[in-house]
Amino acid sequence: MGAKFANLHVRTDYPAATMEMLEQRFVQKTDEKAYYDSEVDIIDLYVSLDKAALDTYSLNSKVYVGEFNGWVSLLHSEFSWGTVEEYALSLSLDLHDPVLAVSYFDDDILSIGVYLKGTLVNQHIKSYGNYGIDDKEMDIWSFIQTLDIQVTPEEVRFALFNHGIQKQVEELEKLLCLPLWIDAEWIGESDLVYYEEIGNRV
């Protein structure tokens, strides 16, 4: 069995407002904020949103939010391949900012989607095995322009088209300065798994 994870990230010039909007969706009990620093372990940059909203998720859900250089990242224990995409679509309806969703299943499937105003506007899918899923190549210019990121098409192309899917995630992490190989279930009791398998990649 390979790795499985899913996460989403809002690209925004207004992280405080985005955090406030997320707090309205989840019961939040901390005033801490998290900022990316290459000298700090990624797990320490997420703060826990104690309980998910009763009308959306169970009370046993783990929810974490972190702020990273113009991104607000959301981890949820109910995110997985096939569910994080739905949540990103829904969240993008409430935002003026694009939402990036990343899901990875069993070292066989990588899905990267960009959502804006309730619409999937760009997608990258790479699949191995008999899943009946067609590969799809990211529109690189759309990816750069929609997310308003300061990278070159060549850098994105190198990250997404020159490697296997695990390396694609690692290269995109470095390019965006954003933790992508991470999951809510790896935080807390499973910190050790995260450190052993992932390390501090970003």
Tell me, letter by letter, the H, E, C secondary structure of 169-195: HHHHHHHHCCCCCCCHHHCCCCHHHHH
Q: What pLDDT digit, counting tens, does each position of 45-81 carry?
A: 455 444 333 233 333 567 788 888 899 988 888 899 8
Predicted confidence band of residue 171 (pLDDT cuts 50, 70, 90):
very high
> By percentage, how much of the chain surpasses pLDDT 90?
44
Strand, helix or coil at 92?
A: helix
Average pLDDT, the chain: 78
Quick one: average pLDDT of 171-185? 91
pLDDT at 166 over 90: yes
| b/e map 146-162, b = 16+ CB within 10 Å | bbebeeeeebbeebbee
Q: Note the pLDDT of residue 202.
A: 40
Dist CA 185 CA 109 (whole Å): 19
Are 15 and 175 contacting, i.e. CB atoms less than 8 angstroms apart?
no
Q: Note the pLDDT of residue 63.
A: 78
Dist CA 121 CA 166 (whole Å): 23
Q: Note the pLDDT of residue 33.
A: 41
| b/e map 179-201, b = 16+ CB within 10 Å | bbbbbbbbbeeeeeebeeebeee
Predicted confidence band of residue 184 (pLDDT cuts 50, 70, 90):
confident
Name the residue with tokens 């990121």. Answer: 149
68 contact partners, CB below 8 Å, separation of at least 6:
9, 34, 35, 36, 45, 177, 178, 179
Strand, helix or coil at 62?
A: coil
Are 178 and 156 contacting, i.e. CB atoms less than 8 angstroms apart?
no
Q: Please state the pTM of the whole predicted model.
A: 0.79
Q: Domain ranges for the chain, please list them.
A: 4-138+179-197
pLDDT at 2 over 90: no
Quick one: average pLDDT of 7-28? 80
